[in-house]
């Protein structure tokens, strides 16, 4: 055994240019050090390059994508165009179209996406005209299957039309607003169709959002709106915008001590506006199979790219009227027939069924969130951590005041 160990030691000492022979040949030692440095720098560069590509090219390098990267090895890397957009392209180019394309590339890009039905045609017409005048790209999600009914509007040919019967805007958004597809757009407006925009201007709205650093926002609701569910969304006539609300009335108490939605860092689902970075996060938050989106607005603050109490806000100076018109799925049967006739004809109350399904999905979403938090051992709630920090700060201030007294 001793002989074997001696032989092994001899091999280790004599084998390799970076062993004992390095003492005899110092030049070879220098070469080894240089080679190791080169390998380190190359590996580090490749790692940083991969990180950059994962942010810039989500189609190419996303770990969640079902696309097998090995299937792209037959293509030269530079030919891959990972991004896309929703801009309409001409079948042939003219001088005017080329100059128009140059102008389009030089300006900022923003997107309006709206689920629409023909019953709301008049309201949607006014809504779309406002945004087209501000150079927005417009995509309409036709949940009633009727596209032909919009062709008489002058702007219809400039919009993108997608049809799927009786689907919600969250269903459409998950499938047609992938972050890589809309990565060209600075802001994504994902609005309902029943919003009155007489007192709203998209350009002025975005000026406020950019100036205040709001990653997720919404226009305030006119107090006369019929669909108001949270006081934080109501317009304040004295403010340009607000980030929180104080109200101790009702079941939800919003006091100085209140932290998080719906008192602070909250927007509702009828008219959210996302920055590009916020939408990248929000798109992943949308559940593929939970189409009504109930409960998701309470979690949007996690996509605010920072402190939701600062990065999420409601714009007061540019406000809308929420008409709360329920058209998806049809009207309630209670409005059309009496109870006895409904029983005889076995009429289904669509609105009640939709509300029942929404409530069911809300519970599923809550359960999924809690389960995900428990399973991800490395995740720490950033808002609970900041809340603990603020509480410690308040305690230190109180103790200092007591000492001074």
Which CATH number goes with the domain that contains 139? Answer: 3.90.550.10
Residue 349 lies in a domain: no
Task: Check residue 260 and report its DSSP letter.
Answer: S
Number of domains forming the structure of the chain: 1
Strand 137-142 and strand 312-322: pairing? unpaired
What SS3 class is residue 243? coil
Q: What is the pLDDT of residue 4?
A: 44
Closest listed residue to residue 28, CA positions, set 37, 38, 16: 16
* pLDDT the model gives residue 128: 98
Does the residue 62 lie in any domain? Answer: no
Q: What are phi and psi of 30, to 5 degrees?
A: -65, -40
The pLDDT of residue 399 = 62
The predicted structure's pLDDT at residue 7: 45
Whether residue 335 lies inside any domain: the answer is no
Residue 247 tokens read as 């109200």
CA distances from 199 to 103, 202, 221, 320, 354 (A): 29, 10, 10, 6, 31
Boundaries of domain holding 310: 108-322
Per-residue pLDDT at 12: 41
pLDDT at position 250, please? Answer: 72
pLDDT digits (tens, 9 = 90+) for 281-336: 999 999 999 999 999 999 999 999 999 999 999 999 999 999 988 877 665 445 54
Please provide the DSSP assignment of 254-292 as one string. Answer: B-TT--STTTBS---TTS-EEEHHHHHHHHHHS-SS--S
CB 155 within 8 A of CB 132: yes
Helix (H, G, I), strand (E, B) or coil at 118: helix
pLDDT tens sequence across 69-98: 677 888 888 888 877 888 888 888 776 665
Q: Is residue 9 part of a domain?
A: no
Asked, for residue 146, whether it belongs to a domain, the answer is yes
* Closest of 265, 255, 151 to residue 217, by C-alpha: 265
pLDDT at 157: 95
DSSP secondary structure letters along 23-68:
HH-HHHHHHHHHHHHHHHHHHHHHHHHHHHHHHH-HHHH-TT----
Question: What's the helix, strand, coil split of the chain in %, to 5?
Answer: 50, 10, 40
Q: Is residue 150 part of a domain?
A: yes
| 217 found inside a domain | yes
Cis peptide bond N-terminal to 16, omega within 30: no
Angle (CA) 19 25 30, round 5° = 80
Give the E-state strand segments of 145-186 in sequence order. Answer: 160-163
Evaluate whether residue 187 is within a structural domain.
yes
Evaluate whether 299 touches 265 at the Cβ level (below 8 Å).
no
Classify residue 70 by its DSSP letter: G
**Predicted local confidence at residue 42, as pLDDT:** 67
Residue pair 266/230 in contact (Cβ under 8 Å)? The answer is yes
Distance CA 160, CA 137 (A): 8
Pairwise CA distance, residues 128 & 147, whole Å: 15
Q: Tens place of pLDDT for every residue, the chain, 405 residues?
A: 444 444 444 444 444 444 444 455 577 778 778 777 777 776 666 655 545 444 544 444 445 444 456 778 888 888 888 778 888 888 887 766 656 665 555 556 999 999 999 999 999 999 999 999 999 999 999 999 999 999 999 999 999 999 999 999 999 999 999 999 999 999 999 999 999 999 999 999 999 999 999 999 999 999 999 888 999 999 999 999 999 999 887 778 898 888 889 999 999 999 999 999 999 999 999 999 999 999 999 999 999 999 999 999 999 999 999 998 887 766 544 554 555 554 455 556 788 899 999 999 999 999 999 999 999 999 999 888 666 555 554 565 556 655 666
């Amino acid at each position: 055994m001793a002989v074997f160990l001696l032989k092994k030691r001899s091999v280790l000492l004599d084998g390799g240019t970076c062993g004992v022979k390095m003492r005899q040949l110092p030049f070879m030692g220098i070469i080894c050090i240089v080679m190791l440095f080169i390998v380190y720098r190359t590996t580090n560069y490749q790692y940083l390059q991969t990180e950059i590509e994962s942010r810039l090219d989500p189609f190419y390098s996303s770990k969640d994508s079902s696309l097998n990267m090995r299937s792209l090895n037959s293509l030269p890397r530079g030919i891959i165009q990972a991004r896309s957009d929703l801009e309409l392209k001409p079948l042939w180019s003219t001088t005017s179209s080329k100059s128009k394309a140059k102008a389009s590339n030089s300006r900022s890009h923003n997107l309006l996406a709206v689920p629409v039905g023909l019953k709301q045609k008049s309201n949607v017409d006014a809504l779309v005209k406002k945004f087209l005048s501000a150079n927005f790209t417009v995509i309409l999600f036709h949940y009633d299957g009727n596209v032909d009914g919009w062709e008489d509007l002058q702007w219809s040919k400039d919009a993108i039309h997608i049809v799927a019967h009786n689907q919600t805007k969250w269903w459409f958004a998950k499938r047609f607003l992938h972050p890589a597809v809309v990565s060209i757009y600075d802001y994504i407006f994902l609005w309902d169709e029943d919003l009155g925009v007489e007192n709203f201007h998209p350009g002025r709205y975005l000026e406020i959002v950019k100036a205040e650093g709001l990653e997720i926002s919404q226009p305030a609701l006119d107090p006369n709106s019929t669909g108001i569910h949270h006081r934080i969304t109501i317009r304040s006539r004295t403010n340009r915008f607000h980030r929180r609300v104080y109200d101790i009335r009702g079941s939800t108490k919003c006091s100085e001590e209140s932290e998080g939605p719906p008192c602070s860092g909250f927007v509702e689902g009828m008219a959210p506006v996302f920055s590009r970075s916020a939408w990248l996060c929000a798109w992943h938050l949308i559940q593929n199979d939970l189409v009504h989106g109930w409960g998701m607005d309470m979690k949007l603050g996690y996509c605010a790219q920072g402190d939701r109490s600062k990065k999420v806000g409601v714009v007061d100076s540019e406000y809308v009227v929420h008409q709360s018109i329920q058209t998806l799925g049809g009207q309630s049967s209670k409005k059309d027939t009496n109870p006895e006739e409904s029983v005889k004809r076995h009429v289904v109350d669509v609105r009640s069924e939709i509300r029942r399904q929404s409530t069911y999905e809300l519970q599923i979403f809550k359960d999924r969130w809690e389960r995900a938090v428990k399973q991800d051992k490395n995740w720490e709630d950033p808002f609970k951590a900041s809340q603990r920090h603020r509480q410690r700060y308040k305690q230190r201030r109180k103790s200092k005041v007591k000492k001074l007294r």
